[in-house]
Chain A
């Protein structure tokens, strides 16, 4: 019993950090440009595939840890650029029409899925850290065995979260983002190039999705393959709705609620592993019935 509690606390907490990172990109792009990006899961998938592809090239010596970290960053940048170009070509022309945006992003997601199937096949090339790196070892904390990579993923997630907060609160770009999220027209009158800002935000959001994709798929046994974008998409929209669309604080707290809820089901319910994908959705529906705008939901809230 106590063992279960410790396991829930530790594993759930580590998982929650990654989930928050996953949802952060989704909430960022909604909060700033009002785009419900249903292709968010695809950027997650694209990131993982890009990591494998670029890692096979081996810029700084294939199979070394240095190379893996370099490729991680490189993959994020490449996916970010791809995402902002996709945004400019497909989503920007239909901006303002909610349904059209959703359909366009769904189309993007399906196109990417088919691309991946055509070029890589249905089976997934395994995303993993180099075999001999320290990340593959396991630690034993209070009787729970945890891989170092899992802990590292959690730390990196929180670090990225903090970095984003800093970008939004301290830099000039972040100031522009906050301004646009509050009032687009006024921001435009103040000379902010909204189109470029939206493209940047989309790139940033996709970069976060990439990091989440690589960290989650390399450290856990999440389902992988060409359909791997669906589950993170469901998860990220559940988190984001739970916390409130467009609220950054909300995505952190929503991520923790869902991470713990999932882990609780996984450890306590027999055969729980199969049904674990439902938990976020059920929690989301329940919360939404009580608070229709999520826990911290407001269209204009990016200061936090």
Chain B
């Protein structure tokens, strides 16, 4: 009896408080991010948020291809690495300024996506996933191969790439980089969101749902799939060359499987098929993995007088992956989607004057 009153009070409270349009929430989020440098959190935190923004661009591009079009790619590191290496090559051999290398890298990345799209059209489902996984592995071995070392720099790759703002002092340069990359994230997520919700985006979803039926409706499936590949690789290579210039480094690990799996895990964390989910996922990843577990936890332990064992460095990834695994099993639709669904359900519950348990029943039904 008492419990049901509590539940009712809680649900009406959340429904009223969170009854804000998502667009406004996104706007608030970006506003919050704009004020971060003013909080004086130090350059390390800014660095982290820069990396979070780059990962977010990367994961959003993956989400458009996989979550919306259904073309499973487990080799997005290909475009990421091509972006970074193109920047590196152009700087190394032609000493081009950064404002030339980045557009060139993005263009070549998009071209790679366009070209990769053709062979990948012939294969479907798990075959597509595995064949896309192979391309970055091939390239990572090639760039490491010693006969090609004069071109690609071998194991070390390219070092000392130019920073974005060489003329500014260190702290200001980081702040400027932060704003630049935030702007790029803003622009690219808006562009991808608009594409995903345009007529083209609807066609993408129709290909995901039923390829044969969309063919029967007179849709040129081939063209749309290649378009999805191109757009996705465009933004993935943008993320790659941004990372190369931020870390001033383009090396073979950019092609590694870890990088291929990164957008997958981030997208699943946030919610696949929503364009905003991967952004949420990458922020959660960076904050949890690189801030809470790398800085806050050791500090907390120190204040008590304990020291963390050295192995904890490796346990961080373990803990994070475990969280993702549990999420996939429990809520396969992701955290962001889970939150929005919850809100929607609460609204419906309010409308129908229904209470908590119904939400869970709906969940059981949608889960398969």
Binding site for B on A (CB under 8 A): 30, 36, 89-90, 93-94, 96-100, 102-104, 106-108, 110-111, 114-115, 117-118, 230, 234, 237-238, 241, 245, 271, 274-275, 277-278, 281-282, 284-285, 288-289, 292-294, 297
Let me know if B119 and A288 touch, CB within 8 A.
yes
Chain B, 280-297, CB within 8 A of any chain A CB = none
A271 vs B123: C-alpha distance when bound (angstroms): 33
- Known contacts being A118-B314, A118-B318, is A292 close to B122, with CB within 8 Å? yes
B169 contacts chain A at the CB level, 8 A cutoff: no
CB of B143 to closest CB in A, whole Å:
11
| Chain B residues positioned under 8 Å from A278 (CB to CB) | 137-138, 141-142
CB of B315 to closest CB in A, whole Å:
6
B332 contacts chain A at the CB level, 8 A cutoff: yes
* Other-chain residue from B74, B134, B146, B332 in contact with A238 (beta carbon distance below 8 A): B134
Let me know if A284 and B145 touch, CB within 8 A.
no
CB of B308 to closest CB in A, whole Å:
13
CB of A92 to closest CB in B, whole Å:
9
CB-based A-B contact count at 8 angstroms: 122
Let me know if B137 and A98 touch, CB within 8 A.
no
Let me know if A90 and B315 touch, CB within 8 A.
no
B307 contacts chain A at the CB level, 8 A cutoff: no
| Chain A residues positioned under 8 Å from B368 (CB to CB) | 96-97
Let me know if A271 and B146 touch, CB within 8 A.
yes
| Chain A residues positioned under 8 Å from B317 (CB to CB) | 110, 114
A284 vs B328: C-alpha distance when bound (angstroms): 30
| Chain A residues positioned under 8 Å from B328 (CB to CB) | 94, 100, 103-104, 107
Let me know if A114 and B314 touch, CB within 8 A.
yes
Chain B, 144-159, CB within 8 A of any chain A CB = 144-147
Query: What 11 additional pairs, Cβ within 8 angstroms, besides A103-B264, A277-B137?
Result: A94-B332, A98-B72, A98-B125, A99-B272, A104-B329, A106-B265, A114-B321, A285-B119, A288-B119, A289-B122, A293-B127
A277 vs B141: C-alpha distance when bound (angstroms): 7
A98 vs B146: C-alpha distance when bound (angstroms): 38
Let me know if A271 and B325 touch, CB within 8 A.
no
Identity of the chain A residue whose Cβ is nearest the Cβ of B122 in the assembled complex = A292
| Chain B residues positioned under 8 Å from A106 (CB to CB) | 261, 264-265
Listed from nearest, the 3 A-B pairs whose CB atoms lie closest are A114-B318, A107-B325, A281-B134
B 79-120 binary contact with A (CB < 8 Å = 1; else 0): 000000000000000000000000000000000000000010
Identity of the chain A residue whose Cβ is nearest the Cβ of B121 in the assembled complex = A292
| Chain B residues positioned under 8 Å from A271 (CB to CB) | 145-147
- Known contacts being A103-B265, A274-B144, is A108 close to B137, with CB within 8 Å? no
Identity of the chain B residue whose Cβ is nearest the Cβ of A121 in the assembled complex = B311
B131 contacts chain A at the CB level, 8 A cutoff: yes
* Other-chain residue from B122, B264, B318 in contact with A115 (beta carbon distance below 8 A): B318
B130 contacts chain A at the CB level, 8 A cutoff: yes
| Chain B residues positioned under 8 Å from A117 (CB to CB) | 311, 314
| Chain A residues positioned under 8 Å from B119 (CB to CB) | 285, 288-289
Let me know if B145 and A111 touch, CB within 8 A.
no
| Chain A residues positioned under 8 Å from B226 (CB to CB) | none
Let me know if A90 and B146 touch, CB within 8 A.
no
A107 vs B144: C-alpha distance when bound (angstroms): 27
| Chain B residues positioned under 8 Å from A111 (CB to CB) | 318, 321-322, 325
Let me know if A230 and B141 touch, CB within 8 A.
no
| Chain A residues positioned under 8 Å from B144 (CB to CB) | 274
A150 vs B137: C-alpha distance when bound (angstroms): 28
| Chain A residues positioned under 8 Å from B142 (CB to CB) | 275, 278
Let me know if B126 and A245 touch, CB within 8 A.
yes
- Known contacts being A97-B332, A98-B72, A271-B145, is A241 close to B268, with CB within 8 Å? no
B66 contacts chain A at the CB level, 8 A cutoff: yes
Let me know if A230 and B257 touch, CB within 8 A.
yes
| Chain B residues positioned under 8 Å from A115 (CB to CB) | 318
Let me know if A285 and B329 touch, CB within 8 A.
no
B242 contacts chain A at the CB level, 8 A cutoff: no
A108 vs B262: C-alpha distance when bound (angstroms): 14
Identity of the chain B residue whose Cβ is nearest the Cβ of A297 in the assembled complex = B127
| Chain A residues positioned under 8 Å from B322 (CB to CB) | 107, 111
* Other-chain residue from A30, A93, A104, A288 in contact with B123 (beta carbon distance below 8 A): A288
Let me know if A288 and B145 touch, CB within 8 A.
no
A102 vs B268: C-alpha distance when bound (angstroms): 11
A234 vs B140: C-alpha distance when bound (angstroms): 13
B324 contacts chain A at the CB level, 8 A cutoff: yes
